[in-house]
Amino acid sequence: MSYNKLAVFRRELNFSQQEVANMLSISRAAYSLKENGHRKFSQKEMGIIFTKFKERYPKLNMQDIFLT
């Protein structure tokens, strides 16, 4: 499953893949594989991303980001 919405939110927040990868303590390449649906995000990783993105979009929920 590709996380197209995740990429859209990431770009709207002006985060690079490297910046989000750093938040997750993974490589940019590993993050890219996850964002493009080749690997799954862990629950912990989804929580970190959600918490950071929710700072800017208070009404955001997990489904908005991770379900297509």
Is residue 3 within 8 A of residue 62, CB to CB? The reply is: no
Tokens of 36: 């493009």
pLDDT for 66 equals: 86
pLDDT for 2 equals: 55
What ranges in the chain are assigned the alpha helix state H?
Answer: 4-12, 17-24, 28-35, 43-56, 62-66
Task: Please report, to the nearest 10 degrees, the dihedral formed by the alpha carbons of residues 9, 11, 16, 21 taken in order.
Answer: 10
**Model confidence over 37-66: pLDDT tens digits?**
999 999 999 999 999 999 999 999 999 888
- How much is the pTM? 0.89
Amino acid at 68: T
Q: Indicate which CATH number applies to the domain containing 10.
A: 1.10.260.40
How many domains would you assign to the chain? 1
Which structural domain, as residue segments, surrounds residue 15? Answer: 4-66
